[in-house]
Amino acid sequence: MKKILVKGGKKLNGEVNISSAKNAVLPIIASSILCGDTCIIDNAPMLEDVFVISEVLKSINSNINIEDNKIIIDNSNLTNVEPDSDLVRKMRASFLIMGAMISRFGKFKISLPGGCNIGNRPIDLHLKGFSALGAEINFGHGYVEAHANKLVGNKIYLDFPSVGATENIMMAAVLAEGDTVLENAAEEPEIQDLANFLNSMGAKINGAGTDTIKITGVKELKGTQYKPIPDRIEAGTFMVAAAITRGKIKINGINEQHLKPIIAKLREIGVCMEKVDDGIIIDGNNDFKPIDIKTMPYPGFPTDMQPQMMSLLATINGTSVITETIFENRFMHIGEINRMGGNIKIDGRCAVIEGVDCLTGCEVKATDLRAGAALIIAGLAAGGYTTIGDIYHIDRGYVSIEEKFKKLGADIERIEVD
Ligand code: EPU
């Protein structure tokens, strides 16, 4: 069994390069299903989730080659309309292939995703969109099936700006007949990136990145070559790590616009930041003060940065409050941070954080991807050794995380234990 061992107390220093965004690449890979030509994704992050969605596509006869950060996808021979359910159940994002599959084949059957460590995560909004486009949806024996003779554009209002539903419905609408208008759509940068990828294949999508997206159906899409956006959550994770160790680092290859809510909150804490060419310098050598944070859909503060911020606030004297509005169960890391000497109490959807002078290293477990990142961050600032278990969660979404931290001077390694 592999674990990550961190010895705290080192100030981070140096430069780190940001990889492409996991949450942009996953829907992009799914959307390649819409076209029979070859699609090439450059600078792809070599992550467990990327490998899993590639395997899901292979199970429907996609020909995928991954070499040197390049993913080459040939979907000319897709025949199977039922992906391997064991693979699908490994990762919720597998469900992102549904819109493209209904659109291309008029039928599709997939294992229903269950809840996960961060919440119940229903898919009703995805299905509402497919139905509005003319698909007939049926459930049974843990599967959801869709049939459609043809998809026809429609006006669809999302009750909540779900990222996955916006992406899935957008993919289904690209080849539908006529216009689709998606209202109260998610505005995350990854939505805009998916639209840019699809438009580079010949789709007609306008307004992605705003709350109203208009998709004019086209007859077919052609192959493309595309480089996804940088990972704003990976960048944010390193920003918080620099701050908690009172270090000074340069983060290269970011899109500052996408980091606005994270930069705003770090600035409120007292972290100094300076934009330089395509990077940002983070300087944690300052007095920090407690703050309140509420997670919101973009451009609000991202839920995917909530656990990492919690580790930082746990070390800042005074009372901070974090309100989690996106996922009902995304506080599993609190028990682990408290094991390290944190003083955090949960009150419904709020976490009340009383900052302590220092955290102390101990054995903890990554309960999900971002919780794992939060524990590494806490470990970097804690006294002594922190051992993090269940690190497969971390490998789902961070490229070479311990190597990147090591290059910044952290005392961190991956160890094999019985
Ligand atoms: N929701 C519904 N019905 C739906 C869909 C969503 O009620 O049909 C609810 C969810 O239960 C949740 C909220 O809406 O409470 C937000 O879910 P959303 O659909 O926006 O999230 P997602 O598409 O499942 C993506 C990211 C997550 C990220 C969220 C929110 C990918 C592959 N995943 O998930 O990333 O937290 O958006 O920004 O893009 C992560 O990277 O660690 C991660 C969990």
What confidence tens digit (pLDDT) does each residue in 165-206 have? 999 999 999 999 999 999 999 999 999 999 999 999 999 999
Per-residue pLDDT at 34 exceeds 80: yes
Q: What is the β-pairing status of strands 70-74 and 63-67? A: antiparallel
164 CA distance to ligand 1 centroid (A)?
Answer: 6
Per-residue pLDDT at 350 exceeds 70: yes
Q: Quick one: angle between helices 189-200 and 22-31, nearest 10? A: 30
Residue 35 annotated among the catalytic residues of the structure: no
Report the pLDDT averaged over residues 69-84: 93
Q: How many Å apart are CA 101 and CA 412, to the nearest integer?
A: 43
**pLDDT, averaged across the chain:** 96
Per-residue pLDDT at 115 exceeds 70: no
From the CB of 125, is ligand 1 less than 6 Å away?
yes
Strand partners, 182: 156, 213
Report the pLDDT averaged over residues 137-157: 95
Report the pLDDT averaged over residues 392-414: 97
Helix segments in 217-365, DSSP class H: 232-244, 260-269, 306-313, 332-339
Q: What is the β-pairing status of strands 204-206 and 224-226? A: unpaired
Please give the angle made by the CA atoms of 324, 327 and 333, to the nearest 5 degrees: 70
Residue 254: the pLDDT is 97
Residue 356: the pLDDT is 98
Query: Can you give the C-alpha Rg of the chain in angstroms?
Result: 21
Q: How many Å apart are CA 194 and CA 201, to the nearest integer?
A: 11
User: Residue 268: which H helix or E strand, with range?
Assistant: helix 260-269
**Residue closest by Cα to atom 43 of ligand 1:** 304
Burial-class residue 89 by CB neighbours within 10 Å (0-12, 13-18, 19+).
middle
- Position 323: which residue type? T
Mutate which of 144, 162, 234, 396 to test ligand 1's pocket (most atoms within 8 Å of Cβ)?
A: 162
From the CB of 157, is ligand 1 less than 6 Å away?
no
Per-residue pLDDT at 226 exceeds 80: yes
Residue 117: the pLDDT is 81
Give the full edge-to-edge strand order of the sheet including 143-147.
Answer: 107-111, 143-147, 136-140
- Position 271: which residue type? V
Per-residue pLDDT at 113 exceeds 80: no
121 CA distance to ligand 1 centroid (A)?
Answer: 7
From the CB of 162, is ligand 1 less than 6 Å away?
yes
3-state SS, residue 348: coil
Neighbouring C-beta atoms of residue 115, cutoff 10 Å: 12
Per-residue pLDDT at 114 exceeds 80: no
Q: How many Å apart are CA 320 and CA 323, to the nearest integer?
A: 10
From the CB of 166, is ligand 1 less than 6 Å away?
no
Tell me the percentage of the chain whose pLDDT exceeds 70.
Answer: 100
